[in-house]
Amino acid sequence: MTLDLFGASDTGTYDRMGSAAGILRGFALPDVDALLPALADIQAASPFRHMITPGGFTMSVALSNCETLGWTSDRFGYRYSRVDPSHGRPWPAMPAVFLRLAQRAAAAAGFDGFAPDACLINRYVPGSRLSLHQDKNEVDSSAPIVSVSLGMAAVFVFGGHARTDKCFRTSLLHGDVAVWGGEDRMRYHGVLPMVDAPHPLLGSQRINLTFRKAA
């Protein structure tokens, strides 16, 4: 996939959010039929759960993981773990279709050679939200973040390098892939409370696959 000076691509629209950040509109749509069965297999092995924050709050977004490292949270902090704390076994392996999509999207956004070792899977339902935050638990912050949206539309908030910096909002639709790295890697971002607008395939939920190089 190639991008021209105006953000058009040979497979869809690229909406820039920064010099090294943007959204590949509809990029994941050709893979949906393979993504969903693979997602069901992961869910069977490591079901979605609502984790506790270090402050003792229950997250409104349910999560699971696949690949070597899984992002977790409890009263002791945010971190990556090699095992699912709910049963003590390793997280499911990353399906090949997940890895291919992440690498193609990263390359399309200008980040060749992306080798994720973590995939956080978030499930949003009406009312779920994700507070403004930075992805900073990764040892390797030189690699980009690749975020795949499936199901209900979300309002994505993308800010600056300080929490108080001005943010802008944009919609993330089924099949969109957001990628940010380089000088934009540590920008604050979040998701506004989800509105119940059921999707034909996934109903009243949004699934978000976030690929990272954590170690």
**pLDDT tens digits for 97-150?**
999 999 999 999 999 999 999 999 999 999 999 999 999 999 989 999 999 999
- Is residue 108 within 8 A of residue 158, CB to CB? The reply is no
Residue 212 has pLDDT above 80, yes or no: yes
pLDDT at 17 exceeding the cut of 70: yes
For residues 48, 53, 57 and 62, what is the CA-based torsion angle, rounded to 10 degrees?
Answer: -20
pTM: 0.94
Q: Which two tokens stand for residue 113?
A: 């050679």
With contact defined as beta carbons under 8 Å apart, do 151 and 206 qualify? yes
Helix (H, G, I), strand (E, B) or coil at 169: strand
Residue 70 pLDDT greater than 90, yes or no: yes
- CB atoms under 10 Å from CB of 123, counted, come to 21
Across the chain, mean pLDDT equals 94
Range 14-212 has CATH code 2.60.120.590: yes
Quick one: how far is CA 61 from the chain centroid? Answer: 12
Q: Given pLDDT bands bounded at 50, 70 and 90, which one contains residue 35?
A: very high
What angle is formed at CA 171 by the lines to CA 72 and CA 169, rounded to 5 degrees? 85
User: Token match 């021209």: residue?
Assistant: 4
Ranges of each domain in the chain: 14-212
CA distances from 22 to 27, 43, 59, 170 (A): 12, 29, 27, 11
Residue 165 Ramachandran class (φ > 0 left, ψ -120 to 50 alpha, else beta): beta
Q: Is the Cβ–Cβ distance between 50 and 58 less than 8 Å?
A: yes
Task: Kindly state the tokens that stand for 17.
Answer: 């959010």
DSSP state of 67: S
Q: pLDDT: is 188 or 4 the higher one?
A: 188
User: Three-class SS of residue 153?
Assistant: coil
CA 109 to chain centre: 15
| pLDDT tens digits, 140-183 | 899 999 999 999 999 999 999 999 999 999 999 999 999 999 99
